[in-house]
Structure 1
Amino acid sequence: MTKVVSTQTIQRKIHKLGKHSRIAPKIPYLRPQDFQRRLAFAQAYCHWTINDWAKVIWTDKLAFKLGKRVNWVRAWRMASKKWNLENLAVNHQSGRQLVMIWGAFCGLSQSTIAFLNGRMNATELVRQAYQPTLRPFVEHMEQAPWIRGQQRLLLVEDNAPIHTAMWS
């Protein structure tokens, strides 16, 4: 015996279970060893205080593809399961990058934004971001009351080849 059930009835039942159709958060692709390295980092520094973390300068760059259509991936999930792997949309970045920016923050302070032009390598990153933006930001942060006269600042970057080159 076949029973016909409407789409709306199925959707109501799924909602009663606490699941709703949500847009999956986009994250960069991570290999299993990347997960392990991130876990090891978290375990090594879990004892740090807010004052310890306030002496860390975090940097990153972001590229925008102008005019590219965004494809939203939807996932049926409970609200508390947003960051579970099965509910994420992996973002493989490829193709021509049109606009790239770089910035840093430390504690509650943030650097100005550097707009990066052309193809980036370590030399260009130093010329376009580190010299005009990072250097003045570090000098400013060294005068912050919670840093002045204490240990030096710690600069944290990802392991992209542009950051691990000898020049940068």
Structure 2
Amino acid sequence: MAHKDWTIDDWKRVVWSDETKINIFNSDERTWTWIRSGESLKPHHVKMTVKHGGGNIMLWSAITYAGVGWMCKINGNMDKTLYKEILEDELERTIEYGTNKLGLERHQVVFQHDNDPKHTVGQNTSQTSTRFDVIVF
């Protein structure tokens, strides 16, 4: 609740970030369809599948009040080293874009991440928090 009293201007300083996996076909989650009792199954009730899922792509990106930030494709598994590289490249570009567009100074930026262990491991936490404030959601 540390941020419950923030103003709109306070929230405008936040750079929101996350990773996501986009599947070529369908999601990883189980899906359901509902039909009425006595109703027959229709083609639109059935989801086609592809053996082995058809592939996917992992992405990291950020958004600011000023708009969409930089995005990068994550090849392989994200670890603390790759995350550090993303912070040094895509996050830096996003902050530069956001501060220019919003008229902010760099020290006013607040970076958000979701407290995933690779985000908080030693080198990433200390290097990130010395450059700007960090909030965790």
SS of residue matched to 1:60: strand
**Distance in structure 2 (CA, Å) of the matches to 1:45 and 1:132:** 28
Q: Which residue does the alignment assign to 1:157?
A: 113
**Distance in structure 1 (CA, Å) of the matches to 2:32 and 2:66:** 33
**Distance in structure 2 (CA, Å) of the matches to 1:103 and 1:141:** 13
1:132 aligns with 2:89: yes
* Percent identity of paired positions between Structure 1 and Structure 2: 22
Q: Give 1:132 shift.
A: 2.7
Q: Which residue does the alignment assign to 1:48?
A: 6
**Distance in structure 2 (CA, Å) of the matches to 1:146 and 1:132:** 21
**1:56-95 map, 5 Å:** 56-67=14-25, 71-73=30-32
CA contact (8 A) 2:23 2:56 kept: yes
Deviations 1:28-70 (A, max 9, x none): xxxxxxxxxxxxx3xx322211110000111000013444565
CA contact (8 A) 1:56 1:156 kept: yes
**Distance in structure 2 (CA, Å) of the matches to 1:45 and 1:74:** 40
Count of residues paired in the alignment: 103
Task: State TM-score, norm by structure 2.
Answer: 0.63
2:57 counterpart (67, 87, 99): 99
Task: State TM-score, norm by structure 1.
Answer: 0.52
Q: Which runs of 4+ in 1 moved over 4 A?
A: none
Residues 105 and 45 (structure 1 numbering): CA distance in 2 closer, same or farther, change over 3 Å?
same
Instruction: List alignment gaps of at least 5 residues for structure 2.
Output: 35-54, 125-137
Residues 99 and 145 (structure 1 numbering): CA distance in 2 closer, same or farther, change over 3 Å?
closer
